[in-house]
Structure 1
Amino acid sequence: MGNAWCTNAEENRSSVSVALGEWPPFISEELPGFGSVSRIVNSAFKSQGLQVKTGFFPWKRSYDLTRIADWDATAVWVKSPERERRFLYSDPVMISHNVLFYRKDKKFDWKTLEDLEGYVIGGSTGYYYGSVLETGEKLNTFRMERIPDEAANFKKLLIGRVDLVVSNKEVGYFLINSLLEKEQRDIITHHPKSVHLTSYHLIIGKKNPRAQSIMRTFNQGLGVVLGKRPETGY
Structure 2
Amino acid sequence: MKKLPLIFLSMLILIFITSNISANETVRLAIGDWAPYTSETDPDGKLLEEVVTEAFKAEGIDVEYAYYPWKRSYVNVEKGKYDGTFPWNKTEERENEFYFHKESLIKDPGVYFHLKSKDFDWNTIEDLKKYKVGVTIGYKQEETYKEHGIVADTVPDEQMNFKKMLVGRIDVYQTSKVVGYATINKLFPPEEAKLFTNHPKAVEESEYYILFSKKTPNGQHFADKFDSGLKKIKESGLYDKILVKYLGESH
TM-score band w.r.t. shorter chain: 0.7 to 0.9
The correspondence of residues 219-230 of structure 1 with structure 2, limited to 5 A, is 219-227=227-235
SS at match of 2:186: helix
Task: Supply the distance in 2 between the matched residues of 1:121 and 1:10 (Cα, whole angstroms).
Answer: 54
Aligned to 1:76: 87
SS at match of 1:32: coil
Q: Normalising by structure 1, report the TM-score.
A: 0.85
Aligned to 2:8: none
CA contact (8 A) 2:28 2:65 kept: yes
- Equivalent position amino acid for 1:204 in 2: F
CA contact (8 A) 1:154 1:176 kept: yes
Aligned to 2:60: 49
For the pair 1:184 / 2:192, whether they are aligned, the reply is: yes
CA contact (8 A) 1:222 1:228 kept: no
CA distance change for structure 1 residues 63 and 9 in 2, over 3 Å: closer, same or farther?
Answer: farther
CA contact (8 A) 2:114 2:197 kept: yes
Task: Supply the distance in 2 between the matched residues of 1:199 and 1:189 (Cα, whole angstroms).
Answer: 22
- Equivalent position amino acid for 1:86 in 2: E
For the pair 1:137 / 2:149, whether they are aligned, the reply is: no
Which structure 1 residue ranges, 5 or more long, are not aligned? none
Q: Deviations over 1:79-117 (max 9, x none)?
A: 223322210112200111111111212212222223323
Considering only aligned residues, what root-mean-square deviation do their CA atoms show, in Å?
A: 2.9
Aligned to 1:117: 129
Alpha-carbon offset, residue 7 of structure 1: 9.0
Aligned to 2:7: none
Structure 1 residue aligned with 2:183, among 175, 180, 189? 175
The correspondence of residues 9-88 of structure 1 with structure 2, limited to 5 A, is 14-32=25-43, 35-88=46-99
Larger radius of gyration: 2
CA contact (8 A) 1:33 1:39 kept: no
Aligned-residue sequence identity (percent) comes to 34
For the pair 1:163 / 2:171, whether they are aligned, the reply is: yes
For the pair 1:213 / 2:213, whether they are aligned, the reply is: no
- Equivalent position amino acid for 1:191 in 2: H
For the pair 1:108 / 2:120, whether they are aligned, the reply is: yes
- Equivalent position amino acid for 1:113 in 2: I
CA distance change for structure 1 residues 139 and 54 in 2, over 3 Å: closer, same or farther?
Answer: closer
Task: Supply the distance in 2 between the matched residues of 1:8 and 1:80 (Cα, whole angstroms).
Answer: 41
CA distance change for structure 1 residues 33 and 192 in 2, over 3 Å: closer, same or farther?
Answer: closer
For the pair 1:204 / 2:212, whether they are aligned, the reply is: yes
Structure 2 residue aligned with 1:193, among 201, 207, 224? 201
Task: Name the count of aligned residue pairs.
Answer: 228
Alpha-carbon offset, residue 34 of structure 1: 6.4
Task: Supply the distance in 2 between the matched residues of 1:70 and 1:185 (Cα, whole angstroms).
Answer: 39
